[in-house]
Structure 1
Amino acid sequence: MLIIHFINFCIFRQQLHGISALEAVNQIRSEGMLSLYRGILPPLLQKSLSYSIMFGCYDQYRRTLEGGMGFNVAPAKVLAAMLAGCTEALLTPFERVQTLMLDDKYRKQFKNTPHAFNSLRVFGIKEYYRGLSAILMRNGPSNVIFFSCRDKLRTFVPEHPNLGLLADFISGACLGALISTISFPINTTKTHMQKTLGGEFQSFSKVFLALYRERGLWGMFRGVHVNYTRSFISWGITNVSYEYLRNHLNARGS
């Protein structure tokens, strides 16, 4: 997890400052090794909950839409994926606090993650959900692409008893890398929406256009190479784990 957190740290600094990966590494290294642990708690909590909500709610929504409301399979999958993505957005405070913890500007202001969470209380509950619009724009469409395409993509791997896990890994990894690349400018915009503490809430479009004018199209993708490499590995493992557990539970229930 520490390795993944360091990669996330580098990507965050690239998104925030529009710098190269090497510059991000040097910047983090100059702050000391202890800085690597800053902001590690929110992603630890968020990821475990996020995956549970994403897969669990998707299956539950899909069954309800197909069985209880009479939706056809394809529309049910799309709507269930969108709803699961919106449900995941309840975890926005974790991403919000992680952004503050990873920003060097707040290094002396927040002692640790609980302190950062508590400090936001003075601004009201709305402050915890700064950047919510960007997260909704990312989660819904990303889930639709993932759940609509992963089974189709899996069929491209030749059927073989020993290739089941490989097929699950490849389908999850390729989709994860693709989705993370497509949504990268949204994540960059989210980072800049959430880096502000207090004050005016700026709309997604306003922040996006300001970044685009300042950096250009390529600047909006600073850090994408590291990001899709990380996503390729992590989503491949995630998809394998999900399929294995689902098949195991289905086999026990039958």
Structure 2
Amino acid sequence: MVQNNKEFNHGFWHINLQEFVCGWGASFINISVTYPVYKIMFRQMLHGVEIKSAVQELRHEGFAFLYRGILPPLAQRTVSLSLMFGLYDGTKRPLVKLGVNEYVAKFVAGMTAGTVEAVLMPFERIQTLLADSHYHTHFKNTSEAFHYVCMNYGYRELYRGITPILWRNGPSNVLFFIIREEAAVRLPKREDHISRSVQEFLSGAFIGASLSSLFYPLNVLKTKMQATVGTPNLSLSDAFKAIYTERGSKITQVYKGCGINCSRAFVSWGIINVSYEGIKRLFF
């Protein structure tokens, strides 16, 4: 058991290490469990196919390719979630101490954490390429994909599609933390370990699924913008027009894959929330 809760003041930020550690651990557990579902959802986003077709495609490729591309999200999402929880807490606390309105502090903290997370975007960029079957014969692994992109197209290519990521990260973080903290205050306090864990899972699951569905179109646009290498960059409006035209000019087709995305987010954020709280109780 870790007895000391180490905290440091570094300039403006109040750094609470347990927030970073709990966020990292929760993300590691979540990615390991839900990655195969992500692969199905990704194929739906990119090709607009039904779930059955996406599953059959992955089955045809075999188990060897099922976890292909997991290293980038493990590297990116574990650090990203660590930053998300750590920077949010580290930004909100000093603002509240300075007398800033609590909800204004939460808004600033959420936007700050989401914007800083975007620095890790290159991992998301490479993950997109590795998950696309079109590039299975181009790259053997993550390092080879990074090397190919950087050597042939420069580091700027790693940040292709950053606009929808910025629009997604900040606002979704703000809503997540505000709703999560409101739920923690308003929901009944559970003493029993199992019932408390169930409540934490469901709380995180419903919040995560709702926000993931709300911001789903931005993920579709991001995937469209990142699915190629070395081609001219698409703007948000150009990416939307391309997707809209390719999918029969039906707005509902832009949401293709939203169902499994919502289901994945439900499980994913449920696991993250209960893992985060469990790690905090266990070690801190």
TM-score, normalised relative to structure 1? 0.91
Deviates more, 1:239-248 or 1:113-122: 239-248
Q: CA deviation at 1:171?
A: 1.6
CA distance in 2, matches of 1:105, 1:28: 13
Report the 3-state secondary structure (helix = DSSP H, G, I; strand = E; otherwise coil) of the residue aligned with 1:38. Answer: coil
User: What letter corresponds to residue 59 of structure 1 in structure 2?
Assistant: D
Report the 3-state secondary structure (helix = DSSP H, G, I; strand = E; otherwise coil) of the residue aligned with 2:66. Answer: helix
What do the CA deviations read for 1:45-100 (whole angstroms, capped 9, x no partner)?
Answer: 11211110110010011123223x54211100011001101111111011100110
CA distance in 2, matches of 1:61, 1:170: 27
User: What letter corresponds to residue 208 of structure 2 in structure 1?
Assistant: G
Structure 1, unpaired ranges of 5+: none
Aligned to 2:103: 74
Q: Does 1:20 align with 2:54?
A: no
> Does the CA-based 8 Å contact 1:173-1:236 persist in structure 2?
yes
Q: CA deviation at 1:238?
A: 1.2
CA RMSD of aligned residues (A): 1.8
Aligned CA distance change for structure 1 residues 156 and 166 (closer, same or farther; 3 Å): farther
Aligned to 1:206: 238
CA distance in 2, matches of 1:209, 1:164: 46
Aligned to 1:62: 92
Q: Does 1:235 align with 2:235?
A: no
Kindly indicate whether structure 1 or structure 2 has the higher relative contact order, using CA contacts under 8 Å at least 6 residues apart: 2
Find the partner of 2:148 among 102, 119, 124. 119
Find the partner of 1:222 among 256, 260, 269. 256
Find the partner of 1:159 among 172, 182, 189. 189
Aligned CA distance change for structure 1 residues 3 and 160 (closer, same or farther; 3 Å): closer
Q: Does 1:109 align with 2:138?
A: yes
Report percent identity of matched pairs.
44
Q: How many residue pairs end up in the alignment?
A: 249
CA distance in 2, matches of 1:241, 1:5: 17
CA distance in 2, matches of 1:201, 1:70: 44
CA distance in 1, matches of 2:34, 2:279: 23
In the TM superposition, what are the counterparts of 1:124-135 in structure 2 within 5 Å? 124-135=154-165
In the TM superposition, what are the counterparts of 1:165-180 in structure 2 within 5 Å? 165-180=197-212
> Does the CA-based 8 Å contact 2:34-2:268 persist in structure 1?
no
Q: Does 1:40 align with 2:74?
A: no
Q: Does 1:86 align with 2:115?
A: yes
CA distance in 1, matches of 2:282, 2:64: 40
> Does the CA-based 8 Å contact 1:154-1:167 persist in structure 2?
no
Q: CA deviation at 1:3?
A: 5.2
> Does the CA-based 8 Å contact 2:212-2:262 persist in structure 1?
yes
Report the 3-state secondary structure (helix = DSSP H, G, I; strand = E; otherwise coil) of the residue aligned with 1:135. Answer: helix
